[in-house]
Structure 1
Amino acid sequence: MKQILATIKRETRHFNQYWWVYLTLFFSVDLVIQLVVIPAFRLVTTYVLQAGAIPFVSYQNIVTIITQHPLVVVALLLELALLLLVIYWQFAIILLGVRDIQAGTISVRHLLRESGQALHRLRPASLLVLLGYFVLVIPFANLVFRTPLLSKIQIPAFILDFMTRNAFLLTGLLVFYTLMIVLGVRYLLALPLMVYRGQRPQVALVNSWHQTSHGQWWPLVARILVISLVAGLVMVIFYGLLVGLQFILDLLPGKLSLVMAVVNLTLVQLGSECLAVWIGVVTIMTLVRPLGDAIPATPAAFRVSRGIKRTLVVAGSLIVLVTAVSGGFYLTGNNRRPVTISHRGVAEKNGVQNTIPALERTHRLYPDYVEMDVHETKDHQFVVMHDENLKELAGVNKAPYQLTLRQLTHLTVHENGYRAKIASFDDYLKVADRLHQKPLVEVKTTPHDSKGMLTRFSNRYAKTLERHGDQVQSLDYRVVTGMRRRAPHLPVIYIQPYNFTYPNIAADGYSMEYSTLTDDFISLAHLQHKLVYSWTVDERPVMMQAMYDNVDGVITNNLQDLNAAIRSYDSRRSYARRLLNYIIVVPGSQEFEP
């Protein structure tokens, strides 16, 4: 422990001496990724999909794309290969840049040439190895350089939630993550070996495995843990001092408290980024020192001309100015209040999902919408039910399409210590209309639905839903296009479980699983005047993150928590409270925002 702390202290001294060079390196690479690379990939993906007349990519049409659009598949695979090369390049240029700063010889031309040589050493067969490698080391790689290019490689939260409810699946998930962590640690040195020593990926993986054998992996893990603990402690103290100071400054008269709040928020933003760069530099140095000749044993003096210093001063001043202005807008702006949507018509487990008694209780909390689910029955009626099998809630091993509406509405469902009868869609709508409660109706589809299901649903309910200001959503894109054609004035939302790419679809908005929803997706949707809902958001920090990203609606099981989060986030009585709100959502960010 003492040796690790001594190493961190030594590397921190060098970082403090040349912090502006390290910041320039990390910020420059990040800006290139965000302002050039990501927009370029988005444009290429959009063009490829539009050329193939493919409105979106999801599990629903992936087989169709593979079998009927081979050129699109080839283009997307080539794009994936290029993406892997870009990811490798950005890590290579960071590793090489840190080494060159240590050697006191860094220059843009030399760095680009070195990183180009690192790319040139790769072979086509190396791409599959890199894909697996990056998946394994993502948790550790984010300590070195948080990149939005890797942020989408994750399992969505709703899948994790489903798997943790089943003992067999939970065991498999724990084994999977344990295996990933073990392999990630054992192969952690492969990337530095590829970049610093020019080893091929396959060779670097073998050597990394060898160098971390016989318990030699433990010092690597210990260093990472200690760095994380030290960084966490510094962050807590730093944030705590600024928020505590702002609570005192809020007592100042006039605009002085606002001015100081802008200063403190600017310190929070810039301090967070400086801390992230410090973590990256110290982590690289402590991990690669054991490789011996990869990094100079003694850091060399770094010299820079006056012209470069003046350029950096100007650039740094602009960054501070832009950060301060954006902070001022945040502290004084009127943030968008998202509509509140209770998931499956319940709140804080106050009843059985999708039942009328739960609707009546939830309505007392005044949600803007009550999200509920509709299935077609055997006799072509519509019943309020989420699951495709009734066994879990009703104890009957049947699907809604196998029973008539009369049979279904005689069944009793049990959940959260409550019991209630299954409701027909007509009865549910009547109660919602009496309560003046707007429903968000999710149309569920199965391969067993009748051919005219959507036509009957539209003819029977579209005008009523439109008149009451209700909305419809579905995971099935055929429902989206069908409802838009049959009821063009009824808002229809397309549900996306995963943010793979920005789709060009006919929906009025998107309902996105929160763990892969990003602020750039929301911004692009708003540019097209489309709504964005986030689901299923049950934790206070995630609610705050959703509001900070300007979502239009939040779907939640915890409606009271959401209402409290909205009141807290929208509080204008205390700049300290707003500063604290910002700090809460900063950990949810996956990328630098200088």
Structure 2
Amino acid sequence: MNYLKHSLINTRDFLLGTRSYFKNVLLMHGFMLFLLIPLLSSSTKFILRRGQINYISFDNIGEILVHHPWVSLSLLVVLIAIVLAVFFEFTFLLLSVYFIKKQQPIRLMQLLSVTFLQLKKVRIETILFFFFYFFLILPIGGFSFHSDLLSKVKIPAFIVDFIFANRLVIVSSFVLFYVAMIYLGIRVIFALPEMILRDRPFKLAVKESWRLTKKRFFAIIAQFVIITGSTLLLASLGFFLVISAQVLVESFLPDYSLISAVFAMTLLQFILLINIVLSTVAVFYVTIDFMDDEGFLPEIPKWFMMEEHAPTRFSEFMQTTFLVVAIFFGVGVSLYNHNYLTNFNLKTPTTVSHRGVSDSNGVQNSIAALEKTSKEFHPNYIEMDVQLTTDNEFIVYHDFNFKALTGFRQKPEESTLEEALALTVKENGKTARISTFDEYLDVADQLEQPLMVEIKTQKKDVSHLVQTFLDKYEERLIEKGHIIQSLSFQMIEEIKQTAPELKAGYILPFSLVGPPISQADFLTMEYTTLNRNFINAAHSDSKQVYVWTPNDEDTMNRMIFYGVDGIITDQMGLLNKTIRQPDDTITYSDKLVNFVLGVG
């Protein structure tokens, strides 16, 4: 009970102290977001262009390492720079909270100076431990330590779904691993502060943290949970109140709805800013505050030299400069908000039925599901998958092994056509036999149903597959308006070189450096890894963007708000209903909701 009471008191102090660390966090956030990240991103793109490498993905990392040593070395330098930058950010914020806790005034330039001093002391084992430390505290600090540099490092939803789908052993193992990570993360949570504030050697700092947390594990957990939970709750409450107020204005005072929407959007941006500050500094506050409460927060380090206060004239100049910048920033934000709310037109995306199934109405990639979905929902395209057998025939099947859906443990690429056609697929309480692509294509053409054909392969050399596919189907696909896509970058490039009139797209599992340099007509992204910046960049390169697989109305609306050109979904009925909403039904409050959901 004492732990709970103490955590609540600390939470109150943390929230009330926002003003103390607001400036430092904001400056660091601005530096990372507007200077360092664009610099590192531009450097990465420049390195790839000089090495004549068009993209980075899971299927070409090995090739880059083996055949492009200078590119690999340069990318390694960029990676090291990112790690050092995150370590610098971590140290800067830790020291900022530390000096606030010690009630020791420190100017920004001095804080930067002592942070650089700590950076000079970094050893290899410190950086390696920082990696270890960061990913250990990530399960509990994932919404505590917000780093702009690492914001793109996320696991796509389709990978998570694949891991957890009907795999009790894997799920149990993951839960146990997660618990172990939390435990280890808490036990070494004071190691980096000990290394930074006390100049402790690596081994001694870890040993000391292990000793200090022995009887304080649950107390530290409680502080993390309560403080981060309170931060999230307050931000959510703020969003709800602002948007609710806008709804009331639109209902009772419609003539003032635009003015109030601009004001409301400014408030939402301020709440988001406060939330960034709180979520960024929370992990440091918990660590420093707990060390102080338990009596092992070190005194002001010997390496800290107190500087004289800045001259009055200089202070007045800085305050005046800050005020002028704030005024210009406020005017700019207001103009941006007004433009956002008045000049944003939603376009109707192309509709695509994922694997030809809608709301589990049949067996994926089956002719029966194709017919049913096409006649009932009329999608612009039906997405389906083809694979090449050992005797150079194409079958319609998604997985790289027959086992999950048929019980036959063999890969399609290692099977003959006869073996594949003898199998029965079971799904959604229904059964269907595997069909050839010729059979599937005949039915689609009879229905006048365009297809989005995903060509799947596990082989590195795709030239034979591409040539075989184009020899069989190129003219027919172009004539009937079918399009193709693939996870293989090489395949799409070869197809566009050989058959430029055939519309083809590259599927990105994730994006770290933006759209690839490609001849593809469109790019397909998983919805959890997609944002408006990527879409704008792709559009500026004259490429459309398709997204897979939003299956609820909120996510569909968010993707439409982002400006995607097409949506691939398992819920065609819901998608049709969502896109039938006329543009004039989109209110200012709807746009505000989409703004909040779409930030980042």
Per-residue CA distance 1:395-445 (angstroms, 9 max, x = gap):
333433455545544543211012223222122223223333221111112
Total equivalences in the alignment: 578
Per-residue CA distance 1:329-386 (angstroms, 9 max, x = gap):
3333103443232221112111111112212222222333221101113432211111
Q: Distance in 1 between matches of 2:462 and 2:38?
A: 43
| 1:421 counterpart (433, 437, 444) | 433
Q: Distance in 1 between matches of 2:329 and 2:485?
A: 42
| 2:530 counterpart (512, 517, 521) | 517
Match of 1:275 in 2: 275
Match of 2:305 in 1: none
The question of whether the paired residues in 2 share the 8 Å contact of 1:121 and 1:200 is answered with no
Q: What is the letter of the counterpart of residue 401 of structure 2? A: N
Return the offset for 1:566. Answer: 4.5
Go from structure 1 to structure 2 and tell me whether the alpha carbon gap of 1:196 and 1:42 turns closer, same or farther (over 3 Å shift).
same
Match of 1:481 in 2: 493
Per-residue CA distance 1:528-553 (angstroms, 9 max, x = gap):
12222233333555444433433333
Per-residue CA distance 1:472-527 (angstroms, 9 max, x = gap):
11112221121011111222211222324343233223222333334433332222
Return the offset for 1:257. Answer: 1.1
* Residue 116 (str. 1) matches residue 116 (str. 2): yes
Q: Structure 1 segments of 4 or more deviating over 6 A?
A: 301-304, 448-451
Q: Distance in 2 between matches of 1:448 and 1:281?
A: 46
Q: Distance in 2 between matches of 1:315 and 1:295?
A: 37
* Residue 341 (str. 1) matches residue 344 (str. 2): no
The question of whether the paired residues in 1 share the 8 Å contact of 2:545 and 2:564 is answered with yes
Structure 1, gaps ≥5 residues long: 590-594
Q: Secondary structure at the match of 2:149?
A: coil
Q: Larger relative CO (CA 8 A, sep 6+): 1 or 2?
A: 1
Which is worse superposed, 202-211 or 356-365? 202-211
The question of whether the paired residues in 2 share the 8 Å contact of 1:474 and 1:495 is answered with yes
Match of 1:6 in 2: 9
Q: Secondary structure at the match of 2:148?
A: coil
* Residue 578 (str. 1) matches residue 570 (str. 2): no
Q: What is the letter of the counterpart of residue 342 of structure 1? A: S
Q: Distance in 1 between matches of 2:148 and 2:568?
A: 25
Match of 1:471 in 2: 483
Q: Distance in 2 between matches of 1:450 and 1:266?
A: 52
| 1:323 counterpart (328, 333, 337) | 333
The question of whether the paired residues in 1 share the 8 Å contact of 2:569 and 2:575 is answered with yes
* Residue 89 (str. 1) matches residue 99 (str. 2): no
Go from structure 1 to structure 2 and tell me whether the alpha carbon gap of 1:127 and 1:415 turns closer, same or farther (over 3 Å shift).
same
Go from structure 1 to structure 2 and tell me whether the alpha carbon gap of 1:548 and 1:107 turns closer, same or farther (over 3 Å shift).
farther
Return the offset for 1:32. Answer: 1.3
Percent identical residues: 32
Return the offset for 1:89. Answer: 0.7
1:239-254 aligned within 5 A: 239-252=239-252
Q: Distance in 2 between matches of 1:522 and 1:191?
A: 39
Structure 2, gaps ≥5 residues long: 301-308
Q: What is the letter of the counterpart of residue 524 of structure 1? A: A
Go from structure 1 to structure 2 and tell me whether the alpha carbon gap of 1:327 and 1:45 turns closer, same or farther (over 3 Å shift).
same
Q: Secondary structure at the match of 1:221?
A: helix
Per-residue CA distance 1:212-270 (angstroms, 9 max, x = gap):
113x1211110111113322332333222222222221134664112112211221121
Q: Distance in 2 between matches of 1:573 and 1:550?
A: 15
Q: What is the letter of the counterpart of residue 87 of structure 2? A: Y
Q: Distance in 1 between matches of 2:396 and 2:96?
A: 59
1:16-415 aligned within 5 A: 19=19, 22-101=21-100, 103=103, 105-165=105-165, 166-214=167-215, 216-252=216-252, 255-281=255-281, 283-292=283-292, 293=297, 305-332=315-342, 333-363=344-374, 364-405=376-417, 408-409=420-421, 411-415=423-427
Q: Secondary structure at the match of 2:453?
A: strand
The question of whether the paired residues in 1 share the 8 Å contact of 2:141 and 2:283 is answered with no
Return the offset for 1:75. Answer: 2.2
Q: Secondary structure at the match of 2:277?
A: helix
Q: What is the letter of the counterpart of residue 345 of structure 2? A: N
Q: Secondary structure at the match of 1:93?
A: helix
The question of whether the paired residues in 2 share the 8 Å contact of 1:81 and 1:127 is answered with no
Return the offset for 1:294. Answer: 5.2
Return the offset for 1:573. Answer: 4.7
Return the offset for 1:109. Answer: 1.6
Match of 1:592 in 2: none
The question of whether the paired residues in 2 share the 8 Å contact of 1:522 and 1:532 is answered with yes
Query: Structure 1 length as normaliser, TM-score?
Result: 0.88
Q: Distance in 2 between matches of 1:539 and 1:196?
A: 49
Go from structure 1 to structure 2 and tell me whether the alpha carbon gap of 1:83 and 1:424 turns closer, same or farther (over 3 Å shift).
same
Return the offset for 1:44. Answer: 2.0
The question of whether the paired residues in 2 share the 8 Å contact of 1:227 and 1:283 is answered with no
Q: Distance in 2 between matches of 1:106 and 1:43?
A: 34
Q: What is the letter of the counterpart of residue 258 of structure 2? A: L
Go from structure 1 to structure 2 and tell me whether the alpha carbon gap of 1:282 and 1:473 turns closer, same or farther (over 3 Å shift).
closer
Q: Distance in 1 between matches of 2:568 and 2:556?
A: 10
The question of whether the paired residues in 1 share the 8 Å contact of 2:246 and 2:589 is answered with yes
Q: Distance in 2 between matches of 1:27 and 1:484?
A: 46
| 1:560 counterpart (556, 566, 573) | 573
Q: Secondary structure at the match of 1:250?
A: helix
The question of whether the paired residues in 2 share the 8 Å contact of 1:569 and 1:581 is answered with no
The question of whether the paired residues in 2 share the 8 Å contact of 1:341 and 1:553 is answered with yes
Return the offset for 1:568. Answer: 6.7
Return the offset for 1:276. Answer: 3.1
Return the offset for 1:117. Answer: 0.7
Q: Distance in 2 between matches of 1:285 and 1:391?
A: 51
Which is worse superposed, 86-95 or 518-527? 518-527
The question of whether the paired residues in 1 share the 8 Å contact of 2:353 and 2:570 is answered with yes
Provide the aligned C-alpha RMSD in A: 3.0
Which is worse superposed, 138-147 or 3-12? 138-147
Return the offset for 1:279. Answer: 4.4
Query: Structure 2 length as normaliser, TM-score?
Result: 0.87
